[in-house]
Structure 1
Amino acid sequence: MQKLDLIKLYSNKRALVVDEFPDMRASIRRMLRSFGVETVDVANDGGDAMARCRENQYDIIICDYSLGKGKNGQQILEELRFTQSLNHQAIYILVTAEVTRSMVFGALEYKPDDYLIKPFNPLLLQARLDNLMLEKQFFSNVYEALDESDYEAAAEHAEVLVNRDRRYRVAAQKLQGQALLQSAQFDKAHKLYHDVMERRRQEWACIGCARALIGLQKWTSAIHVLSELIDHGTESLQVFDCLAEAELALGRNGVAQAILERATVSSPYGILRQINLAEVASANNDYLAAEKAYRRVIKLGVNSCHDSHEHSLGLVRCLLDKEKQQISGNSDTFKECYTVCHRIKKKYGNEAQVILQADLIEAKTLAQQGEIDMAIEHAQKLFAKYREEENILPGLGLDMAAALLAIDKPNQGREVLEDLAERFAEDNLLLAKIDAMADQPISTKAKENASKINAEGKVLFETDNFDEAVAHFRMAVNHYPNNVELKLNLLLAIMQCVNTTNAGAAESLEMVDEAASLIASLESLPSVHKAYQRYQSLASEMQQLQDAA
């Protein structure tokens, strides 16, 4: 394309320059006008930039990362992508003076079209923009289809362009693969990526292949492809995200947590990954890791379109669960729980389900403080309100169940959990949380897992490997802390271990204390529970052990 053609191309574009410093805004504005852009608007902060983007459709946005108070350049792009307010053919260039690894990774999370380090001159900016403009023009039909969410058409347009121009061959293949994934044509996407990998094993094709395998629910195959990339030293955070997704689908939540923790070290500013980490750690009952992640999410959520009441409520749940686990009676913990709930009710005063959630968590806090009568009164009133709500949010359902369980209403709590599991049967992370709260498996996956755990434990019992049986069921109870059958199996393993091994007096006493704690945790088991008779029998035997000790 000739220089004159490029100037004509620029003349039809509308640009926005976002920078907190007037001199920098003016400088970039002059550069763009010298390239041929006739309409160049400016904004001095994130709020001003978002307001202008709501009023106008921009073809070029050049935005500084640091914009003082309010949204930064990454959060502006984040919201424009989230709200689909930025056309696919538009160009977004992020500018920064910072070059730290974590900042760069964070800035690239939402895939700006380019990334410029200050200071830069007109020649560099024009060279980058020229290349981007020509590429966007080449793929205009693809981008128009993507703007219409017509992913099948976008894939077809991209396929036509694969052999049109060698310069854009790889870009066309990437767009085609992405559109196939978005239109759920996973078999076609897998073939495309596999063919590319056959010719030359490129990282982007391996990631695409893994995503197609995940779409086909071939979790193990996807894990193999992604693990190879990690073994070869990939720095693509998408690899870790996909790997965590596949591990979660297989129920290996602990592995998924470790993967996400590794990724957040490289990119601590990626809020969606931090949210995922917080939720996975919570489902794993790793309350310290969950608390840390939720505090990070809340900090990152300021000015982010992904900010949610669920993050603050998630923090409170972690604090209460950690307190319950440690039994420290820390008044500061309870004070923070009430403070956060009050702040949420003030901020979301018009959202009935959010207010109900905060009230439920306050009722749970009362119960943990020992104010049982008051907690019961509050929880019962809130349960009546809960039953009147329609389209219950998952978080509200979990909080309702937790409050009912806290006031010793296991049947009602289980009813709420079963309803959630039925309505959100495809949400693996939510199902993991539900099963962690329940006294027996609810999801199909948890039932299968419990059956496997018990079968393996049975083999250990039959071969008199009671030490291994104790370790086996300890791990299971840690994963499903409220599961009655697993607790009773652990109790039996401990008792057998104490009776048949040559453990020292101190070790035996520790085991007896652990068994006593298990018995105590089951004292409120209702007589109608199917495991009640077994519980009573083991409790009686346990009493004899304690007397002997």
Structure 2
Amino acid sequence: MSGHGLLNEARQSDRTHWLHKRYLIVDDLASLRDVLRASLQKLGATTIDYASSGREAIALLIKKRFDVVLCACHLGEGSDGQQVLEEARARELLLPSGVWVMLSPEQNTESIMGVAEQQPDAYLIMPLTERDVIARLALIWQTKRLFKPIDAAFAEKDYRGAADECETQIAANLPHETELLRLKASLLLKGGEAEMARQCFERVLLGRGYQWARAGLAKIRMANGEFEQACQMFQSVIAENRLYIEAYDQLAIAHQNMGRSRQACDVLERATILSPNSVARQRSLGQVSLKLGLMNLAERAFRKCIAVGQHSIMKSPDAYLGLARVCGLKNDPQEAMRLLTTARSDFAGDGIELRVKIAEGLVHHESGNAPGARLVGEELEHMLRRGAQRPDMVSCIEMASLMLAVGLREAAVEQLRYITRNNHDNSSLIEEVQRVFERASMRGEGEALIAAARKEATDLMNRGVLLWKTGKALEALAWMRNARTVLPDNLRILFNAAQILVSHLQQSGFDQELANEAGEILMHVDRIAPGQRRFSLLMDQLAKVVPLTPTKGEGQVVA
């Protein structure tokens, strides 16, 4: 259908359809809000809300479900349109059928690339005419209307159910099979169904070599540990389209998983030149540059990360801690301490105190303040003895390195043992642990400790699985509880413990205490390692064994 035909259809034959939609206009200029409102009213729209800032927009999106959002890229102070869309996606404030149109007076590549990464349904250059707005909305709705039956399951986080509805829509709308398969694959990945998502990508590629489908397959291969094959696929995508930015990010991750930090750095640097306004990408570039000793590049990346992340949902303490390290290495401890103070105040909670203290010790050590570094090392040792929650594994390695550097050998070895036992199947992390031992001239001791710790973790896990497979359910449950006590942050053990609990509930009937236990394990997994594929799958299985109406006196599953 031509643009004129779509415009006439929107204005005349489908006026009732537009009448019942809920619209949100986001712009800091009242004059533009008025222009857009007039265009929508000519369509027949009556339910129109307005926001003059990113904060107002998010508050409205939390409160209501909108069918169409018209959002300006520039919103004055605070978050910009790109960050509002990024947060809406991350918090699932927009349903699959929801339409998001970005509005901007700019046509420069940097601005367009940043917005494009968030995948709006359209990017319109202002000034706009009524014809522009109406025609583009009508065109978008030709596909988006098919997603409407998927919304209900998505809103309930029933990603498998939403994916099944995609297949129903495909059967009735074959011309739109590709768009529906793309949505289905993303839903399946959210739900932890990687194998089924792979089949969707392969169905798409039978008809045409879409880069997003090839990149999707590569991500699945990488998640399966096939890093070299994934690298080749991402490189192929980039060779065909150098502006497919996500492929750069994923290629860098694959390189790092294979210990190729230099290649990862090169890839990320190329990506940040093309699209510099990504908090996550600049953070990753800063971290790998710091690891390689490329201080100028690390400083530039961390400073950019802090600048663009000021009002972003992706803002985190990592850039502040990383930049503090850079300042320490550049012999500017005063600037480093200022950054650490900011991190401590801006990111209260989530174990930030321990992470700040680790960075503080490294700053002292790397700027030549040996007494200060030793004092911090001792403080960290006392904090751990008092039961402080350990941070992420990379921070734990940094803590162990600091302790070795300041002579706290016993505490450092205990940290490295903890890391190895709780990550016995993570080869790249184990190699990093061995490098820490080697830098401290403890190669032989490191090899022996790693071998013993890995064997202990493997034996604990395998014994529990064997008990379950031989029908000794209660013994298996008891064994896995003990394993979790010994290795509280080992993902394989945690997932296997949860799987045994869920399988027992499926076979023996619902038990509130066991369901709560499984929920608590999975929530712990999501805290220490968010985004794991098995998490969503097991949460879905757990939800299905919970009775729809709990019996009197029963509590709710911890989830």
- The correspondence for 2:97, drawn from 78, 81, 89, is 89
Query: Match for residue 19 of structure 1?
Result: 27
Report the alpha carbon displacement of residue 436 of structure 1 after superposing the two structures with TM: 5.1
1:417 maps to amino acid: L
CA displacement, residues 362-381 of structure 1 (integer Å, 9 cap, x when unaligned)? 34434445543454334313
1:355-434 pair list within 5 angstroms: 355-394=353-392, 397-423=396-422, 434=433
Higher mean C-alpha deviation, range 188-197 or range 29-38: 188-197
Letter in 1 for 2:202: H
State how 1:183-332 maps to structure 2 within 5 Å: 183-320=191-328, 322-323=329-330, 330=331
In 1: Cα distance, 2:425 partner to 2:287 partner: 16
Residue 103 of structure 1 aligns with which residue? 111
- Compute the displacement of 1:419 (Å): 1.8
1: distance between equivalents of 2:147 and 2:429?
A: 39
Equivalenced residues, count:
437
Structure 1 pair 381–189 and aligned structure 2 pair: CA distance change class (3 A): closer
Change (3 A) 1:144 1:286: farther
- Which of the two has higher C-alpha Rg? 1
Correspondences of 1:325-340 after superposition (within 5 Å): 330=331, 333-340=332-339
Q: Is the 8 A contact 2:219 2:250 kept in 1?
A: yes
Look up the SS of the partner of 2:103 in the other structure: strand
Cα pair 1:190 1:213 within 8 Å, conserved: no
Superposed displacement of residue 142, structure 1: 2.6
How many percent of aligned residue pairs carry the same amino acid?
A: 24
1:238 deviation in Å? 1.8
Stretches of structure 2 lacking an aligned partner (at least 5 in a row): 1-5, 452-559
Letter in 2 for 1:388: R
**Which letter maps to 1:28?**
L
Q: 1:172 aligns with which of 171, 177, 180?
A: 180
Per-residue displacement from partner, 1:488-520 (whole Å, max 9, x unpaired)?
xxxxxxxxxxxxxxxxxxxxxxxxxxxxxxxxx
The residue that corresponds to 2:341 in the other structure is 342
Whole-angstrom distance in 2 between the partners of 1:304 and 1:432: 34
CA distance in structure 2 between the aligned counterparts of 1:301 and 1:196, rounded to whole angstroms: 35
Aligned position for 2:485: none
- What's 1:491 paired with? none
Deviation at 1:105, TM superposition (A): 0.6
Q: Is the 8 A contact 1:354 1:396 kept in 2?
A: no
Query: Partners in 1 of 2:14 and 2:140 — Cα distance?
Result: 11
Higher mean C-alpha displacement, 261-270 vs 374-383:
374-383
Cα distance change, pair 409–73 in 1 and its aligned pair in 2 (3 A)? same
5+ residue gaps in structure 1? 324-329, 449-549
CA deviations over 1:66-103 (Å, ceiling 9, x no partner) = 11111100111111122222222222111101111111
- Structure 1 residues 268 and 252: alpha-carbon distance in aligned structure 2, compared to 1, 3 A threshold: same
Structure 1 360/239 Cα, relative in aligned 2: closer, same or farther at 3 Å? Answer: closer
Q: Secondary structure at the match of 1:58?
A: coil
1:261-301 C-alpha deviation (Å, 9 max, x unpaired):
11111100122222222223333343333222111111111
Point out which structure has higher relative CO (alpha carbons under 8 A, 6+ apart): 2
Map 1:26-105; keep pairs closer than 5 Å. Answer: 26-105=34-113
Tell me how far 1:421 sits from its aligned partner.
4.2
Letter paired with 1:109: E
How far, CA to CA, are the matches of 1:221 and 1:377 in structure 2? 47
Is contact 2:218-2:234 (8 Å) kept? yes
Q: Do the aligned partners of residues 373 and 319 (structure 1) sit closer, same or farther apart at CA in structure 2, a change above 3 Å counting?
A: closer
Contact 1:11 1:37 in 2 (8 A): yes
Cα RMSD over matched residues? 3.0
Shift of 1:337: 1.1
| DSSP-derived class of the 2:149 partner | helix
In the alignment, residue 79 of structure 1 is paired with which amino acid? E
- How far off is 1:36 after superposition? 1.7
Does the CA contact (< 8 Å) of 2:237 and 2:244 recur in 1? Answer: no
Change (3 A) 1:20 1:401: same
Change (3 A) 1:176 1:87: closer
Match of 1:135 in 2: 143
Contact 2:417-2:450 within 8 A present in 1 as well: no
Residues 276-331 of structure 1: per-residue CA shift (max 9 Å, x gap): 222233333433332221111111111111112222011112333x34xxxxxx3x
Pair 300,255 (structure 1): closer, same or farther in 2 beyond 3 Å: same
Distance 1:219 1:261 in 2: 20
Corresponding residue for residue 490 of structure 1: none
For 1:386 and 1:120, locate their aligned partners in 2 and report how far apart those are by CA, in whole Å. Answer: 60
Shift of 1:427: 7.0
The one-letter amino acid of 2:65's match is Q
Change over 3 Å in CA distance of 1:415–1:178 after alignment to 2:
same
Q: TM-score, normalised by structure 1?
A: 0.72
Distance 1:375 1:187 in 2: 49
Q: TM-score, normalised by structure 2?
A: 0.71
Offset, 1:336:
1.0
Q: Distance in 2 between matches of 1:416 and 1:435?
A: 13
Go from structure 1 to structure 2 and tell me whether the alpha carbon gap of 1:156 and 1:52 turns closer, same or farther (over 3 Å shift): closer
Contact 1:361/1:403 (8 A) holds in 2: no
The verdict on how the C-alpha distance between 1:242 and 1:341 changes in structure 2, with shifts beyond 3 A counting, is closer
- In 2, Cα distance between the equivalents of 1:345 and 1:186? 38
Equivalent residue number for residue 546 of structure 2: none
1:59 CA displacement: 2.0
SS in 1 for 2:117: helix
Contact kept in structure 2, 1:45 and 1:68, CA below 8 Å: yes
Q: Counterpart amino acid of 1:242?
A: Q
Per mean C-alpha deviation after superposition, the further-off stretch among 127-136 and 183-192 is 183-192
Deviates more, 1:178-187 or 1:250-259: 178-187
CA contact (8 A) 1:197 1:205 kept: yes
Shift of 1:237: 1.0
Counterparts of 1:340 and 1:53, CA distance in 2: 33
Return the alpha-carbon distance in structure 2 between the equivalents of residues 190 and 204 of structure 1.
12
1:451 is matched with none
Letter in 1 for 2:229: S
Residues 404 and 412, structure 1, Cα contact 8 Å, conserved in 2: yes
Structure 1's 288 and 182: CA in aligned 2 closer, same or farther, altered over 3 A? same
- The SS at the match of 2:312 is coil
